[in-house]
Structures are given as structure tokens and as C-alpha cells.
Amino acid sequence: MYSIDPSWYCLRTHPKHETVAAAHLRQVPGVVVFHPQLPLMRWTSRGWMRRSESLFPNYLFARFMLETTLEKVRYTPAVKRILEFGGKAQAIPDPVIEELRRTMEAAVSEVFRDAPVVGEEVEIAKGPLEGLRGQVIWVRPGKERVKVLLDILGSPVPAELSLESVLYRKSEAATVVLNRVNPVPPMTPMFNWMGATQSVVA
């Protein structure tokens, strides 16, 4: 039996289509959309570039009346499915969304930089040390520098390099923020209030 009151639900979108899905959903009468995004600086071949990225890739939240609006939401362009447990769309309690909103409001005034983290293994992408791997000792995103401990002929050798010269795993927006403001952990069950064990970003 459907609830007669609007509730929040988690929607999975097609890959990298969160913004498109959010735009289409906002055109559906009676639907309120919450698409958490953060400004993030990423290093590219053209230098540091600022962009807005989804906190939860491929997911967003929408508030609507399930009984009257489910089919419209389900067939909205770029929406893949509604997150379900036991074959039923599971409503998200308002306090969960409000807490996430407060976390986002506290973080949105800052522009975060994506960079390798201390202890991460990186690979040298160019220069005389190209192809060597090492462990990050420290990172200075503001100066675009990183120090890596390399294993050369069995001996540990520290090397200070530019960020553009190393390859590292690009972080999702949520991971970058976790290193700074510790919001809702993205790789743990966000919806443990419903007794589920599945992470919404798995």
C-alpha cells in the first residue's frame, strides 16, 4: 500500500547522467529534487580545472508521492531505477536528508582539490623516472607538488615531483570531502536505518 504523503526516495541514474536526470525530474509536477554536488578542482592536461561533481555518482534523491507519481519518475529520461529493498521502493526519513543537506551547506563554501593522499602508491608518468612506482610522503596541492618515496635498486629514494607528472587514482567527490570534513561515509551503508546492508554507491 502506497503512502499518501510525499517522501524522499533514492534514484539511480544512467552513468554520469545525474545532472540530466535532475533537470528532467524538476519538470515533473510534485517532484522535489536533491542532487548533492561539490565544487572540485582536478588536475588535467590543461592544468587545474574547476568543476561540480556529484557527491554520490549515479545517484540522486527525489521527494514525491509514490502513489500518484511513481510511474512518471520511473520513466523520466536518464533515470534508471528507484532504489528498492524487498521489491519495494523504500522511503528515506526526512532527518536523513536534512542531515545530508546540513553537511553539504557546511562544505559547499570551499573548493576541494583532488590530489593523491599520503600513503597512496603512484606511478611516474613522465621524465627520467617514468614507469617507476612509489609511495606518497606528502602532498602540497597549492604548490602542485608531491613527494614520493621510490624504490631504486633496492634503496628508498625520496623524489619531489609536480602533480602533473604522477598518475594516481582519481577520487570521487565524496572521498575528497571525507578527507576534510568527514560527511556521510560514501562506501558504508548510508541507509542503515532501513536495516539494509547494501551501500547506495556500490
With CA atoms as reference, report the closest residue to 140 among 71, 43, 45.
43
Note if the pTM is more than 0.85.
no
C-beta of residue 123 within 8 angstroms of C-beta of residue 159: no
Per-residue model confidence (pLDDT) at position 188: 36
pLDDT band at 200, cuts 50/70/90? very low
pLDDT band at 27, cuts 50/70/90? very high
Question: Averaged over 70-95, what is the pLDDT?
Answer: 93
- Which residues, other chains included, contact 116 with Cβ-Cβ below 8 Å and sequence gap of 6+? 122, 136, 139, 146, 163, 166, 168, 169
Residue 187 predicted with pLDDT over 50: no
Lowest mean pLDDT among 38-42, 125-129, 135-139, 144-148: 38-42
Chain mean pLDDT for the chain: 79
In angstroms, the CA 165 to CA 129 distance is 10
